Amino acid sequence: MALTEQRDQGEPNEQRPPGRSRGRRRAIVMGLVVLAAFGFLLVRGLGNATLYFRTADEAVSQRQQLGDRRFRIEGNVVGGTVQQTAGRVAFNIESKGVVVPVSHQGDPPELFKPGIPVVLEGRFQGDTFASDRIMVKHSEDYVAKHPSRVTTPPPSTP
């Protein structure tokens, strides 16, 4: 019995020091948090990049399939329909004879005016398209008339 007691007392302790395992757990938890945050940003970024784009006539004909999903709609601003109040603009857009009423939350861009093509981001709320983003489309004529206002990429050389 005396030999057994000596062996037990003489063997080194096999358990890890408490600080070492705690540090490893923290590193694993922090790694998981960083991975989850990266995954969230990736999914969010891809979700924004894959917004559906429809012309006004396509959007009206596909209203059932679009439901209340967020998408982009394109059309020309109908003259005589723009009504601006504090923080809100109401107007109609048109594409191929189909007119869509729009209610935009926020101020329109500086170049916004009747007759220009716009792309709106938002969703249908009943028959009205509820927009929170207006993007003004520039034609080649606009670029030619106002080259200092638009940055165009340099022509590619073969």
User: Measuring CA to CA, which residue among 140, 141, 138, 143 is closest to residue 113?
Assistant: 138
Q: What is the pLDDT along the chain (158 residues), one digit of tens a residue?
A: 455 555 555 555 555 555 567 888 888 999 999 999 888 887 776 655 556 689 999 999 999 888 888 899 999 999 999 999 888 999 999 999 999 999 999 989 888 989 899 999 999 999 999 999 999 876 566 556 655 544 444 444 44
Q: Are 92 and 102 in contact (CB under 8 A)?
A: yes
pLDDT at 120: 94
CATH number of domain containing 93: 2.40.50.140
Q: Is 153 part of a structural domain of the chain? A: no
Structure tokens at 129: 């398209």
Q: Are 138 and 119 in contact (CB under 8 A)?
A: no
Q: Is 37 part of a structural domain of the chain? A: no
pTM: 0.59
Q: How many domains in the chain? A: 1
Domain that holds residue 131: 52-142
